[in-house]
């Protein structure tokens, strides 16, 4: 089953969700802003994405700039920042068959879901 980490206020996330709905495949929406992933869930997600924690951060978010930018944070601290402020998590994230991508590019999502 497909899963999507979705933020309904984000246009890219809404477009990705609409694309997935049109594939007629089963999917689950993960409302990560209200159902924040745990530390272990984020570590697993990062492994599926093959990214470092910092690569999953939305570094232009005001919260990041005001509270974290320029600080020497280790991976666990970056993950904790995402748990404390889930708005920092890049979106949308699409998961299928044990792998994941950031679904901002619909062409990439299409090839990922094939």
- Euclidean distance between CA atoms 70 and 61, whole angstroms: 14
- Euclidean distance between CA atoms 21 and 4, whole angstroms: 11
**Whether 92 contacts 6, CB under 8 Å:** yes
- Residue 10 is among the residues annotated as catalytic for this protein: yes
Check 2, 3, 10, 63 and give the catalytic one: 10
- Euclidean distance between CA atoms 31 and 96, whole angstroms: 17
Residues designated catalytic: 10
């Amino acid at each position: 089953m497909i899963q999507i980490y979705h933020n309904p206020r984000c246009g890219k996330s809404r477009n990705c969700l609409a694309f997935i709905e049109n594939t007629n495949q089963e999917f689950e929406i993960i409302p990560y802003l209200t159902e924040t992933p745990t530390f272990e869930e984020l570590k697993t997600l990062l492994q599926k994405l093959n990214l470092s924690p910092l690569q999953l951060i939305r570094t232009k978010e005001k919260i990041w700039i005001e509270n974290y930018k320029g600080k020497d944070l280790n991976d666990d601290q970056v993950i904790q920042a995402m748990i404390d402020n889930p708005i920092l998590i890049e979106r949308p994230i699409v998961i299928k068959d044990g792998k994941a991508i950031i679904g901002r590019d619909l062409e990439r999502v299409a090839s990922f879901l094939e």
